[in-house]
Amino acid sequence: MHHPTYSPARLVVILIGSGAAFALVDAAAQICVHRTSSAPIGAEAPFWAENAAAMDRMMNGMTVQPTGDVDADFAAMMIPHHQGAIDMALAELRYGKNEQLRRIAQEIIVDQQQEIAAMRLALGQPLPASAPAPTQVSPRQATLSLTRERRADR
């Protein structure tokens, strides 16, 4: 009896087609974001709240119905995934203090924005309107950041 052999790429396609991949991704998200009854307290609470919201948006956005167009389905799942990375990197820039991680977060934002644009262009979709870089801090955000730093120094 001959048993079919599937490449890893073929298995991914089979899993995506069956919806099992979404279950695996959701399970991974549940592990990544520790969701218990104990909420983060203090200075970390806003960071965790932003990250949880980013993860929820990303997971909801990645849930797509197959259209029969693998390329469009791939982009439909990957664009929210990349946007989730951007949103989490922005939270690192807002609340993180490690300069090395902050630089990595900036690189993530630039790289993921470029990949989102490339996917949209590959599918003939319009690019979003130009906007200021998300890493630019508004005067209000700068004031809030300084206030938080001053409180932390006390």
Three-class SS string for 109-123? HHHHHHHHHHHHHHC
Pick 1 or 44 by higher pLDDT: 44
| Residue 4 domain flag | no
Asked whether residue 29 is domain-assigned, the answer is: no
Residue-level pLDDT at 133: 65
Cβ-Cβ contacts under 8 Å for 148 (sequence gap 6 or more): 43
Confidence band of 40 (pLDDT split at 50, 70, 90): low
In a domain, 93, yes or no: yes
Is 1 inside a domain boundary?
A: no
Q: What local confidence, expressed as pLDDT, does residue 88 receive?
A: 97
For residue 103, the enclosing domain spans: 42-146
- What is the domain count for the chain? 1
Query: Is 20 part of any domain?
Result: no
Q: Would you place residue 28 in the very low, low, confident or very high pLDDT band (cuts 50, 70, 90)?
A: very low
When pLDDT is cut at 50, 70 and 90, the band that residue 43 belongs to is confident
